[in-house]
Amino acid sequence: MRQLLLVSMILMCVQHCYAQKSPWTFGLKAGIGSSGRNKVFYPESGVSEAYKTGTNYGFGIRGGYRFLKYFTATLDLEWQQVRDERFRTMTFNASGTGRVVNTVRFENVFQRVQVPIAIQFTPFTKTIKPYVKVGIMPNRLLNGSFDNEFTSSESATVDFDKAEADFNIEPNKNLDRQLNFFAGIGVGIGKHLSVECVHYFAGRLKYASDYHLNTFVLYPDYYSYALRGAQFSLIYHIR
């Protein structure tokens, strides 16, 4: 009986020491932030292209491995929804009508699965542990839409159209597979919590609204900056 009790105590001590010193971490992650950019372009006379940011949110899991005292490699698996807005405004003078302003408002929404892989530098190891991180993020767009609404100062008519993204069209192939860079800062609080803010770097997405081989029809392109942005996340470390 005493031997069994001694073995049990030894196993408990070993397990406790391993839990304290293990370089592996695992946790749950949830985040919210801003996607896109605020920018106005004037591609031609009487035409303006205005982009506005939208809200993103997501959730997932995180794994980490501390390979040096101050350095940890992290890998997340998460789902995220991103969106932004685009306004195309055309202004011209019409005979007998005067100044006419036509506006098309696009709401661009995408859902994606992403795998952020980063190196995290934590120079302090006390209760409050600030850190910086940089990494790459392979991601796959699951679906997308380009809802648009047309209004004109010439009439009270409002036309609405919903366009689902089709990544099987020849010009859009591989657009659903993206590789972005990101960087950010964070702080570990105690043993189980971290908060961080990262910025995703991505260019403008150019999407062909339609395409038919051997025709001379020019279909309009859709544009979006929704794949870039910043996200504020809360991570709960289970171990």
Residues ≥6 apart with Cβ < 8 Å to 110: 81, 82, 83, 141, 143, 144, 165, 224, 226, 227
Contact 151, 103 (CB under 8 A): yes
Query: Largest Cα–Cα distance of the chain, in whole Å?
Result: 104
pLDDT in tens, 149-169: 999 887 766 788 888 999 999
Domain 23-237 has CATH 3.30.60: no
The pLDDT score that the predictor gives to residue 21 is 67
The pLDDT score that the predictor gives to residue 33 is 97
pLDDT in tens, 77-86: 999 999 999 9
